Amino acid sequence: MTSAPEPPEIRWGTLLLRPWSAGDASVVLTALNDPEIALWNASAVRTVEEATDWIVRRADWSAGDHVSLAVVDSLSGELVGSVSLHQIDHEQGDAEIGYWTAPAARGRGVASGAVTALCRWAFLQLPIDRIELCHAADNPASARVAAKAGFTQEGRLRQSYRYGDGRKHDELLWSLLRGDLPIDS
């Protein structure tokens, strides 16, 4: 039996993590067709209608198995990224995290901040004590996000996932445990 969490708004510095809304469709369409995002977060979204479907799926939390949020720069109001917990397993008490940042917003702490903020929220609000992060071994920027967000690298999964180029890549597996983060409130 799973229970769906209430969609939150989470603030982390100047970042605001909020539920997806229909008005995000054109930004989502552009972002998902960025070559780097198409490679490492492949999803076949080619039209505004498909972007709207992508948003509708992420805005429906009823199954209780994911928490998907848009990342907004609260100073400019610009939608700058995506962060999500998926495969939330209430029995095992674990989940996986994924993310992307729009090209213009990269290199200023968006992904690492969003990952940190969502993990902290999740350890406080969900019955989980372990979050896994997996990325292609040849995606060093993602490895940097994992390290900056406090994850510990656990190993290399050989030829474990087919990415947007149609090839299977080795992946690096990282984890964050509830006890790794100082959470007092």
Ligand X SMILES: CC(C)(COP(=O)(O)OP(=O)(O)OC[C@H]1O[C@@H](n2cnc3c(N)ncnc32)[C@H](O)[C@@H]1OP(=O)(O)O)[C@@H](O)C(=O)NCCC(=O)NCCS
Q: Given candidates 10, 15, 37, 95, which one binds ligand X under the rule CB under 6 A?
A: 37
Which residues on adjacent β-strands are paired with residue 16?
11, 72
13 binds ligand X (CB under 6 A): no
Binding segment toward ligand X, per CB under 6 A, in 5-13, 58-66, 93-101, 174-182:
93-101
Q: Order of strands across the sheet with 67-73?
A: 10-12, 15-19, 67-73, 79-89, 94-101, 130-136, 168-177, 152-162
Residue 36 or residue 50: which is nearer to ligand X going by CB?
Answer: 36
d(CA 2, CA 65): 8
Q: Is 112 in the site for ligand X (CB under 6 A)?
A: yes
Residue 93 near residue 148 (C-beta atoms within 8 A): no
Q: Return the residue of 5, 109, 127, 150 that touches ligand X, per CB under 6 A.
A: 109
Q: Which of 145, 151, 172, 175 binds ligand X (CB under 6 A)?
A: 145
How far apart are CB 99 and ligand X at their closest, in Å? 5
Residue (140 or 179) nearer to ligand X, CB: 140
| Closest CB to ligand X among residues 108, 168 | 108
Decide whether 65 or 73 has the Cβ nearer to ligand X.
73
Residue 46's Cβ-count burial label (10 Å; 0-12, 13-18, 19+) is exposed
- Report the nearest approach of ligand X to the CB of residue 167 (Å): 15
Binding residues with ligand X: total (CB under 6 A): 22
Residue in the block written with tokens 């989980």:
128
Q: Are strands 15-19 and 10-12 parallel, antiparallel or unpaired?
A: antiparallel
Question: CB count, 10 Å around CB of 95?
Answer: 24
Give the residues lining the site for ligand X (CB under 6 A): 36-37, 40-41, 99-101, 106-112, 135, 139-142, 144-145, 148
